Structure 1
Amino acid sequence: MENLGHFWVEINRLSPEVDEAFSAALGPKWDHEAGDGELIDDSSRFGGDKVASKKNFEDGMAAVFRRCHAALKPSGILVIVFANKNPDAWETLVGALIRAGFVVDGSLPIQTEMGNRTRAQSSAALSSSVWLVCRKRPSSARPGFAAPVLEEMRDKIRTQMHRFWDSGIRGPDFVWAATGPALEAYSRHPVVRRETSTTGQPEPLPVAEFLREVRRLVVEFAVGRVLKPSEAGGDDHGGLDDVTTYYILHRDSFGMAETPIGGCILYAMSCGLSDAELADRYEILARTGGKSEVAEDDEDEDSAEEDEAPESEGTGSKVRLRRWDQRKRKTLGLEGIGGRPVPLIDRAHRLMQLWKAGDVAKVNAFLDQAGLARDALFALLIQALIELANRDGKGDEAPILESISNHLRSRAGVSSPAQSLLL
């Protein structure tokens, strides 16, 4: 404590209680003998054992929440403020709350972090925290079963999503506002069981699997509003892959402009992705870090590709979508990454590049190879991209997409449902 100099001397003179509070060393931050200390998932504190570190973190959180549960009156409310880019961390948090006896019945993202703070200026940091509202689960609560719990969740979340959407909630706020109410159906039971397909014996339904189902329903609802904007409310729209879903949500909320990374991280998590995957693996995002850029209005088409190339070297505090003509991976639209299916947005961007090159034979060959002419979902995507491009009002993206749309309609063998969607 001597290194604290004058500051420590002044504190030391306040009272015996303060003396005692500041008498311990600042580290280590975890006492293995007492099993107590700073609660963090750090494998270095467990000899590099990641499994032991994760278990300690989960058990520690559950213990903290059990103490909160014991301190609350039956009508009390616990509010948890949490921010983490890793979906696993959210699953761990929710699991610990349920183990401790809480029901999660509300969630709301609130911007709590200053964008100009040191932590955010040079990294992909969250700008919002998600606030979870929790109540004590009645002691009489019984175990639940997967089928009715999931059905209850679907009914409740659809009602809430319509209410939030009609209230004007959009973007990542919409996704996370709808997640909390969905958790109520799951967390009101001490455990939710399902029958296994092999033995027929009941086993717990993991919170991770439940949250994946919730996120799928929420993002499908939001994407449905983008794919079918002319319909009153639209329909929940499944079938889109995660990467295309992210692209549509990002494009609708932020357009092609540079935007802070925080909201994008929340969207990525909702799609089961990370901002790093979208930037480095799929090349959907370009890191800009707030660097000054040449405005698109001042670029000519021939130089745009060269001017934008260094964008991926930004710090990551800000990002923007890569334009269709900036995505240069040779297998774009032909092969998925890591053995996964090819994202539909990759097929659309490759088709645009082929059309721009003016080789109709290659365009037709690609359409036949990928089966896109008869793909009604691809037709919806093209129409949505046209409307988004017209809204942005820059470049030749909209004319190219409209030409592709006309070409698809004119091709022999295009199914009637696909034709009607393209009209």
Structure 2
Amino acid sequence: MTTTPKRKLIEVALPLEAINRESIRENYIYKGNPSGIHKWWAQRPLASCRAVLFAQLVDDPGSQPEQFPTDEAVAAERQRLFRLIERLVVWENTTDESLLREAHEEILKSTDGNPPPILDPFAGGGSIPLEAQRLGLQAHASDLNPVPVLINKALIEIPPKWAGQPPVFPGAVEEKITENGQPLEGMWPKVTGLAEDVHRYGSWMRNEAEKRIGYLYPRAKLDDGTEANVIAWIWARTVQCPSPACGIQMPLVKSWWLGKKKGKESFIIPRVEDGVVVFEIGHDVKQAPKKDTDGTVGRGGAVCVGCGDTTTLTYVRAEGKAGRLGQQLMAIAAEGNRRRIYLPATEEHQKAAEVPRPNNVPDTEIPHNPRYLTTPNYGMTHHADLFTNRQLTTIATFSDLVREVRELIKVDALKAGLRTGVRLELGGDGAEAYADSVVTYLAFTLSKFIDYNCSLAVWYAKEDRPKNLFARQAIPFVWDFPEIAPLANMGGSWSGSLRVLCESLLGTPAVKPIGKVQQKNAADRDYSSRLVVSTDPPYYDNIGYADLSDFFYVWLRRSLGNVYSETLGVMLTPKSEELVADEFRHGGKKEAERFFEGGFEKVFESIRHGYTEDFPITIFYAFKQSESTDQGDASTGWETLLSGMIRSGWTVTGTWPMRTERAGRTRHISSNALASSIVLACRPRPENATMINRHSFLTALKEEMPQKLSELQQGAIAPVDLAQAAIGPGMAVFSRYTQVLEPDGKSMSVRTALTLINQILDEVLSEQEGDFDADTRFCVQWFKNFGWSEGSFGDADNLARGRNTSVEGVQRGGCFRAVAGKARLLPFLDLQVNWHPETNERISLWEVVLHLAKALDEEGGDTAARLMAAARTRVDMDVAQELAYLLFAICEKRGLTQEAILFNGLGQSWSDLTAASRKQAVSAPQPVQDGFTFDEE
């Protein structure tokens, strides 16, 4: 007799609001965040990973009737676990040893004192393995790409190996000795000793580099004869003007602005002297460049500052491919008295950068993929082309120093009493392995350094500072760029990069058991029956991890090739087996789709064989790509993932939207960008699972989806992500059956199921209109029909009568206007100023939601929370939240982008506003003059 596995907490209930709040907050915490160890793309917040792992292993009290026999007992126990999770996800508690022990004890209780190892076969940036280790679990990580393999080693293998180890740098320990000459007990807890060595040997490298290349970076001379340290040199790429009457080297500039801080405005003023462009620095805001005159390059081409002619980008690209793009120094950013100062370019500084290209730098070719690698369009076809010659000289110098300092560390480690031992790659724990460990982090410092020190960084005028290349998941060509002073003490310099790296290292838990990291293809690796899988797989074609990571890999290989000879043995990261739907790599869109789906099926089929039924697997997935067909909307990314999983014998048992991305994303709201990851909990489908027909499937969807969607909305899912989040509960229904049969007897495809799920979502949102007041129902239908455009009074009158209200009444509510036979809704700009819901004569949900969205956008959360507190005395705010989601969906379908952004922001912030509004003191409402209630006139 087989026993049914106990349901885990993640399959039943989660304190989603607390998890989401802390996940989004963590994205703005930099100091001490282990994610700063090395750049990786789309890393999951540690808070969400910690919560998911805990809930994946801990039993839901509802599956323990012998301990919790009543509904009240089950609810009380869930709340106790919720309170533990709510404390566990707070960033400041990641170092609370007693709390982490408490969480580990809960896991032990649900695993008979023998918790399973956790495996992430797509380990990437290492968030999941790191949090498994923080919870006291054996963490396993694997990845095909060597860069995440090294990242995971730096997170879960190396730190616990050296926990408690004092630094070996000469004099470091002695400086911490107490007055009586004795070291303090526990003076070097966790990785403080390792981090101290990384910092000290990194500082030695900086000083040594100054001796070798310091002459390449002159100081700036000021008008009063003094000198100032340079922060950055601002360069423009140039191309010869094709006009025969001109022919100057025209600068290609995106923006002339250098600094936009109020009262400290600075910008570049170009002029032509004797056929050469020279640059001055302006500060008078009356002369500042306006939007239509800022820079020389736009989508229409490049404008010559000499003759004013416009040159096509086709010409610029052709010149780049012919090797005829140049670069000219425009300005120098230097350290002033507590502010940036900007100086015009000088011949001395221009010539200081004119150094020959080093011979021993990576000259590997950049793959062809114009979706996110655009530099080859301009002739920058090799990785070395992404840097100036001076930058290459500096980076090669630091890379050489990584190799040199390793021998110095080994000697010092031997003097400090460590035995020689074998190398780190062979599992050593002596001086050889320690030296390998320290230089791993120094090579990672170089990775952080080159993210800023390349010719693809940008100058961020709004904050007077440089911005790194990887602000997004691409390597784009840029027109003008800052060349940072590498030996300065600022963000992006060697010292700044070293400081961030050491702070990130100190944020690792460094607890045993020591993690295990392998370079493995997820489809080919062994999945032990004891391993429990939690993973964050690639998102179809959204991110080209291998192509992007080559930017770092070629330098890591140069610096650490003798440390990780096996891992870094190939010239570039593996491409052909990478599980990404790259149509350029696989010969077309259909071929790429087949490769991706087949690969996922193989992975989850491998996991399925012999997988323990005691625990679900969990999968983070963040993909948005809807395609409209005659049958409705579907999603290729989701279809391929789910098809592979379902055919491999998995069924969805729980779905949760986790807010894992920053709210202020740079990409457009209609792009493939999500504010949330959808976490799927899945178990092997039972062998006795049955088939159903299409009608029964639709019936089940209609019965189960409304409650699930309400839970998603209450869990603060962003409206823009609701359609993607709804896939989870819909597929939970679909995947529990072996087949869903169409009327013709054929098996329903995942694409058809996704289309039907989207249709049910639309129906549920429309059915929620029944909860709205009459005025709101009128406004919603008018908005669907006309948007903000005018209609006739007759249309308005007919629509109002059908919804038990009147045009006059809706006008009195302050959200509609009918004049001279024409009628229209009032848009945001025309809404009443200083609106007060508690004294408003006639109020509707429509009016409340529009004013909340406007207040949040224009005045911020405090004002919106005050309005919500006041409105709560007049309307049902839970129903108002449903309206916000519906209005976003209408705006998205009508193409009203700006309005969609406002309603999405309101829906995503709803739980935070609700919490803040409950703390607000609200004055008693004034008597309503006409006795109006929602559904009467």
* Length-normalised TM-score, structure 2: 0.25
Kept after mapping to 2: 8 A contact 1:108/1:176: no
**Separation (CA, whole Å) in 2 of partners of 1:184 and 1:61:** 18
**CA 1:377–1:191: 2 relative to 1, 3 Å:** farther
Quick one: which of 133, 141, 154 aligns to 2:689? 141
**Which amino acid is the alignment partner of residue 349 of structure 1?**
G
**Separation (CA, whole Å) in 2 of partners of 1:221 and 1:379:** 27
**Separation (CA, whole Å) in 1 of partners of 2:705 and 2:785:** 32
**Separation (CA, whole Å) in 2 of partners of 1:378 and 1:219:** 25
**Separation (CA, whole Å) in 1 of partners of 2:583 and 2:751:** 22
Match of 1:22 in 2: 568
CA offset digits 1:66-120 (Å, max 9, x no partner): 122226212332211111220221122222210111101222221212356xxx4
**Separation (CA, whole Å) in 2 of partners of 1:216 and 1:373:** 27
Kept after mapping to 2: 8 A contact 1:145/1:193: yes
Shift, 1:378, TM fit: 12
> For 1:22-421, what aligned pairs fall within 5 Å after superposition?
22-26=568-572, 29-30=575-576, 37-47=577-587, 49-70=588-609, 72-86=611-625, 87-115=635-663, 120-124=665-669, 125-161=673-709, 172=719, 179-196=727-744, 202-226=745-769, 228-229=771-772, 345=783, 347-349=785-787, 353-354=790-791, 363-364=793-794, 387-393=845-851
Shift, 1:137, TM fit: 0.8
Kept after mapping to 2: 8 A contact 1:107/1:176: no
Match of 1:327 in 2: none
Shift, 1:135, TM fit: 0.9
Shift, 1:353, TM fit: 2.3
CA offset digits 1:222-244 (Å, max 9, x no partner): 4433552359xxxxx9xxxxxx9
Kept after mapping to 2: 8 A contact 1:109/1:176: no
Match of 1:305 in 2: none
Match of 1:297 in 2: none
**SS where residue 21 of structure 1 aligns?**
coil
Kept after mapping to 2: 8 A contact 1:75/1:135: no
CA offset digits 1:269-323 (Å, max 9, x no partner): xxxxxxxxxxxxxxxxxxxxxxxxxxxxxxxxxxxxxxxxxxxxxxxxxxxxxxx
Kept after mapping to 1: 8 A contact 2:691/2:741: yes
**SS where residue 584 of structure 2 aligns?**
helix
**Separation (CA, whole Å) in 1 of partners of 2:750 and 2:581:** 19
**Which amino acid is the alignment partner of residue 845 of structure 2?**
E
**Separation (CA, whole Å) in 2 of partners of 1:379 and 1:56:** 58
**Which amino acid is the alignment partner of residue 584 of structure 2?**
S
**Separation (CA, whole Å) in 1 of partners of 2:592 and 2:586:** 6
Match of 2:562 in 1: 13
Kept after mapping to 1: 8 A contact 2:772/2:845: no
Shift, 1:152, TM fit: 2.6
Structure that is richer in helix per residue: 1
**Separation (CA, whole Å) in 2 of partners of 1:378 and 1:67:** 61
Task: Flag the structure with larger Rg.
Answer: 2
Shift, 1:174, TM fit: 6.3
**Separation (CA, whole Å) in 2 of partners of 1:75 and 1:11:** 41
**Separation (CA, whole Å) in 2 of partners of 1:379 and 1:42:** 56
Match of 1:300 in 2: none
**Which amino acid is the alignment partner of residue 157 of structure 1?**
M
**CA 1:113–1:378: 2 relative to 1, 3 Å:** farther
**Which amino acid is the alignment partner of residue 759 of structure 2?**
R
Kept after mapping to 1: 8 A contact 2:804/2:936: no
CA offset digits 1:377-397 (Å, max 9, x no partner): 9999x89986323543499xx
CA offset digits 1:305-353 (Å, max 9, x no partner): xxxxxxxxxxxxxxxxxxxxxxxxxxxxxxxxxxxxxx96353336x52
**SS where residue 746 of structure 2 aligns?**
strand
Kept after mapping to 2: 8 A contact 1:115/1:121: no
**Separation (CA, whole Å) in 1 of partners of 2:621 and 2:725:** 14
**Which amino acid is the alignment partner of residue 207 of structure 1?**
V
**Separation (CA, whole Å) in 2 of partners of 1:121 and 1:163:** 28
**Separation (CA, whole Å) in 2 of partners of 1:128 and 1:345:** 28
**Separation (CA, whole Å) in 1 of partners of 2:605 and 2:764:** 35
**SS where residue 790 of structure 2 aligns?**
helix
**CA 1:367–1:156: 2 relative to 1, 3 Å:** closer
Shift, 1:130, TM fit: 1.2
**CA 1:203–1:388: 2 relative to 1, 3 Å:** same
Kept after mapping to 2: 8 A contact 1:105/1:183: no
**CA 1:8–1:192: 2 relative to 1, 3 Å:** same
Once superposed, what is the RMSD of the aligned Cα atoms? Answer: 4.2
**Separation (CA, whole Å) in 1 of partners of 2:785 and 2:761:** 24
**SS where residue 138 of structure 1 aligns?**
coil
Unaligned residue ranges in structure 2 (runs of 5+): 1-359, 363-395, 401-555, 626-634, 816-824, 826-843, 855-933
Kept after mapping to 2: 8 A contact 1:75/1:136: no
**Which amino acid is the alignment partner of residue 211 of structure 1?**
L
Match of 2:120 in 1: none
**Separation (CA, whole Å) in 2 of partners of 1:422 and 1:130:** 42
**Which amino acid is the alignment partner of residue 557 of structure 2?**
W
Kept after mapping to 2: 8 A contact 1:2/1:8: no
**Separation (CA, whole Å) in 1 of partners of 2:717 and 2:660:** 18
**Separation (CA, whole Å) in 1 of partners of 2:802 and 2:639:** 35
**Which amino acid is the alignment partner of residue 56 of structure 1?**
F
**Separation (CA, whole Å) in 1 of partners of 2:640 and 2:690:** 22
**Separation (CA, whole Å) in 1 of partners of 2:749 and 2:782:** 30
**Which amino acid is the alignment partner of residue 387 of structure 1?**
L
**Which amino acid is the alignment partner of residue 345 of structure 1?**
F
**Which amino acid is the alignment partner of residue 589 of structure 2?**
K
Percent of aligned pairs sharing the same letter:
23
**Separation (CA, whole Å) in 1 of partners of 2:575 and 2:608:** 25
Kept after mapping to 2: 8 A contact 1:94/1:207: yes
Shift, 1:134, TM fit: 0.9
Shift, 1:44, TM fit: 1.2
Match of 1:293 in 2: none
CA offset digits 1:31-78 (Å, max 9, x no partner): xxxxxx11222221233x222221112111211221222262123322
**CA 1:375–1:23: 2 relative to 1, 3 Å:** farther
**Separation (CA, whole Å) in 2 of partners of 1:129 and 1:163:** 16
Kept after mapping to 1: 8 A contact 2:639/2:750: yes
Kept after mapping to 2: 8 A contact 1:106/1:181: yes
